[in-house]
């Protein structure tokens, strides 16, 4: 089997790598086990999630679980807890190199079933461009994977060299939030209970990312740039009407953005994964975005992975995924 021949493709599957433990110095990450497993990243602790001895870290277990779930091929991505977008730039660069080398080694256990997205140090765009190019050209990675928060908005002109390199390499960018406060600003204190940082905080950040990419002119500047948002772009399906109205009515909107159909045309340029947990939510999203740019995702082995065979649900999106990943399909 190959990516080109796979019938089901999962684009939302994180990996945790033994070789990265301690690779960010005092920031970690570390794995420990007292009464229950604990994963520590800088000031952030994730308790009760078993990484060792699970598909997150064991490629044999991953393939076995993929077979059970009906998934032919996965694109593995960084754990959002270990983006390290706010640590010292040289330390971030070194961590990303270690991470990507280890991830390349992991996927080589099953190259007919697994591929990878690169972790890049977004606190230094020059370093990010270098690591993106190395990961694609030398390691064979299929694109880049970043968070939503790294000290500058997604439309900041300082990001232009990064976007230009993605276009030059002809690879997509996948955007997935991380909980605030791991190695950067603490964020909203209201999100620090009940896992609200991942339940609704992620949705807010994804929706902001969609707005910023459209309102901020990124898609206009780079018509060949493909960007995929996790979790269906957060609340994009629900907030669509308000987002479109703002593009037509708010004083900051350019004449180009205010033109009839302009907002929808740009929204239809974006890609979204289908990991939204609810058929009605997915149906609402599908009404407003480009259905040909929806791709299947699971958050494989995560807390919210759906526990059943997904083959029939994934198949309608396989052709889309191959287009996004440049897997021998003409767009």
- The CATH number for 260's domain is 3.20.20.140
pLDDT digits (tens, 9 = 90+) for 169-224: 999 999 999 988 887 777 788 888 888 888 999 999 999 999 999 999 999 999 99
Number of domains in the chain: 1
pLDDT band at 158 (very low <50, low <70, confident <90, very high): very high
Answer yes or no: is 2 within a domain.
Answer: no
pLDDT digits (tens, 9 = 90+) for 66-115: 999 999 999 999 999 999 999 999 999 999 999 999 999 999 999 999 99
Answer yes or no: is 239 within a domain.
Answer: yes
Q: How far is CA 80 from CA 76, 202, 215, 246, in A?
A: 12, 11, 25, 31
- The percent of residues above 90 in pLDDT, for the chain, comes to 81
Q: How far apart are CA 245 and CA 248, in angstroms?
A: 5
- Report the pLDDT averaged over residues 11-23: 96
Q: How far apart are CA 182 and CA 92, in angstroms?
A: 14
- The percent of residues above 70 in pLDDT, for the chain, comes to 97
Answer yes or no: is 210 within a domain.
Answer: yes
Selection from 15, 98, 12 nearest residue 52 by Cα: 15
Q: H helices within 89-141, ranges in order?
A: 89-107, 125-137
Answer yes or no: is 36 within a domain.
Answer: no
Answer yes or no: is 78 within a domain.
Answer: yes
A 10 A CB-CB count for 277 gives: 12
Answer yes or no: is 3 within a domain.
Answer: no
- How confident is the model at residue 329, as a pLDDT? 64
Domain coverage including residue 134: 9-15+53-324
Answer yes or no: is 134 within a domain.
Answer: yes
E strand residue ranges, 37-92: 37-41, 44-47, 73-78
Residue 281 host element (H or E): helix 279-288
Answer yes or no: is 28 within a domain.
Answer: no
Q: How far apart are CA 181 and CA 147, in angstroms?
A: 13
E strand residue ranges, 176-293: 227-229, 271-273
């Amino acid at each position: 089997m190959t990516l080109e021949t796979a019938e089901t493709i999962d684009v939302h599957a994180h990996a945790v790598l033994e070789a990265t433990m301690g690779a960010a110095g005092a920031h970690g990450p570390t794995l420990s086990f007292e009464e229950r497993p604990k994963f520590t990243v800088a000031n952030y602790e994730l308790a009760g999630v078993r990484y060792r001895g699970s598909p997150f870290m064991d490629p044999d277990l991953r393939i076995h679980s993929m077979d059970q779930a009906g998934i032919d091929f996965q694109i593995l991505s960084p754990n959002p807890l270990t983006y390290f977008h706010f640590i010292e730039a040289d330390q971030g660069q070194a961590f990303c190199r270690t991470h990507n080398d280890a991830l390349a080694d992991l996927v080589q256990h099953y190259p007919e079933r697994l591929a990878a997205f690169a972790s890049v140090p977004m606190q230094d765009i020059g370093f990010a461009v270098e690591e993106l190019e190395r990961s694609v050209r030398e390691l064979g990675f299929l694109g880049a994977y970043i968070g939503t928060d790294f000290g500058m908005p997604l439309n900041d002109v300082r990001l232009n060299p990064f976007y230009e390199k993605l276009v030059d390499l002809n690879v997509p960018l996948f955007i997935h939030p991380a909980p605030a406060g791991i190695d950067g600003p603490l964020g909203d204190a209201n999100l620090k209970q009940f896992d609200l940082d991942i339940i609704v905080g992620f949705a807010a950040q994804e929706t902001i990312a969609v707005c910023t990419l459209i309102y901020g002119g990124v898609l206009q500047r780079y018509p060949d740039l493909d960007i995929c948002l996790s979790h269906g772009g957060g609340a994009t399906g629900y907030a669509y009407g308000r987002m479109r109205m703002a593009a037509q009515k708010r004083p900051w909107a350019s004449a180009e953005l205010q033109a009839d159909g302009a907002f929808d045309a740009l929204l239809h340029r974006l890609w979204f994964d289908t990991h939204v947990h609810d058929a009605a939510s997915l149906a609402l999203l599908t009404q407003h975005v480009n259905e040909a740019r929806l791709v299947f995702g699971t958050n494989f082995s995560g807390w919210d992975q759906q526990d059943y065979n997904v083959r029939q649900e994934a198949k309608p999106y396989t052709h889309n995924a191959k287009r996004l990943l440049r897997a021998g399909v003409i767009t």
